[in-house]
Each structure stands twice: as structure tokens, then as C-alpha cells.
Amino acid sequence: MVTITDPRINDYLMKLAVEDDQYILEMERIAQKKDFPIVERLVGRLLFVLTELKKPKLIVELGSGFGYSSYWFAKALHNGKVVLTDYREENIDYAKKLFKKAGLIRKAEFRVGEALEIAKEYNNIDILFIDIEKYQYPEAVKTLLPNLNKNALIIADNTLWYGKVVGKNRDKETLGIKKFNQYLFGNQDFMTTILPLRDGILIAYKLF
């Protein structure tokens, strides 16, 4: 297995990113207890910064889990909404309760079901965030291209897939991620990069 970031560097970064938001801390505790994969704090901060810079009206998340990543988006939203999707009702229920406690409920829409099917209902998406099953990434991006707004951002988690993108792994998740990365890097309509932060976070900027 290839290490993406030296664990010592990761520890260093985590120590810098001290957090005092009680809801973020609560969700991080739950994720750790249940061993639930969230984007974690450093990527959360990136989502916050990108949202502040982009000032989106509409963010659609494919695979919200219990709301950690969407919470970072919502915190930075001024005049827009984030659509949460997950096919597990208990995740969306938890997110709804937490957003209510945190006073963010008006900035979010909560949807249970197949993320891709739900996302197709939305047009002029300013930020599309992808964190569903990894083999679904290529289909997700191709299907939703017509639903993106001018100068939209696509952000996707796990695009280095625990380092499996390097080497001969042929499982469907790794192949899905590799196809997705190749598709966006090769698409001249986008300027695409991957930050080797945590498990690799892809950012693709739509040039028109």
C-alpha cells in the first residue's frame, strides 16, 4: 500500500487545526466511535474555504452520510443551500436533527434515496460534491455535467483511494476512481487538480 501523506505530517496538520465548534466535535466523536468515514477536519476546512470563495447558490452532495461534510458547506453558505443525499434514512435523520440544533436547517434540503437520481432533479449546480460508492464516480460525473452551472466546481473525495490508484489493483472501486480522475483531467472544459490531503481530494473548475 502506498502512503499518501506521512502520518507525522498528518498529525502535525491536525494539531494545527484546533476546533471549537461543538457540532463538528460531536460528529467527529460519532465518526470515530462508529468507524464511519467522514472527510475529516482538514478537508472540511477546505470545503468551507471553497464555499466562501465561490459563494454558491446551490451545492449538491452525493453521499452525505450523517452530515459532516455538508455541515462545513452550510457553515460557509450565505445565500444558498446544500442538498444532502444518502440512501440510509438514519443518516439523513441524524443530519436533520443536528442542523436544527446548530441553526443551519434553513440552509439545507434533506433527501433520502439514490444520490444520482435525486441530483438529476437539480439544475444550475454551483458545487457538486461526490462521496458515494467509488465505482459510481464516472457515471455520476458524466450524468450530471448538464446540470452544472457556469464555472461550477466539482469536488470529490477519495480520489487517491488509499493509494490504490498506484499499482495494479483491478477492483471495481479502484477502477472507478482511476476512470473518474482520467476523465476529468482529460476534459478540456475543466481545470482539474488533486490535493493529496487525507485520501486525495479532487477539485475540477468548469472553465465556462
Ligand X SMILES: C[S@@+](CC[C@H](N)C(=O)[O-])C[C@H]1O[C@@H](n2cnc3c(N)ncnc32)[C@H](O)[C@@H]1O
- Rg from Cα positions in the chain: 16
Question: Would you state the cell numbers that stand for residue 38, as one nine-digit string?
Answer: 467522514
Q: Strand (E) positions, 87-186?
A: 108-112, 125-130, 148-156
When binding is defined by CB under 6 A, the residue of 86, 104, 107, 138 that contacts ligand X is: 86
Rounded least distance, CB 33 to ligand X, Å: 14
When binding is defined by CB under 6 A, the residue of 56, 60, 69, 152 that contacts ligand X is: 69
Core vs surface per residue 71-108: b (16+ CB within 10 A) or e: bbbbbbbeebbbbbbbeeeebbebbbebbeebebeebb
Rounded least distance, CB 161 to ligand X, Å: 12
199 binds ligand X (CB under 6 A): no
Of 52 and 133, nearer to ligand X (C-beta) is 133
38 closest CA partner among 55, 59, 23, 53 = 23
When binding is defined by CB under 6 A, the residue of 10, 13, 24, 37 that contacts ligand X is: 37
Contact between residue 144 and residue 171 where contact means Cβ atoms under 8 Å apart: no
x/- string (CB under 6 A) for ligand X, residues 148-177? ------------------------------
Q: Which residues bind ligand X (CB under 6 A)?
A: 37-39, 63-65, 68-69, 85-88, 91, 114-115, 131-133, 136
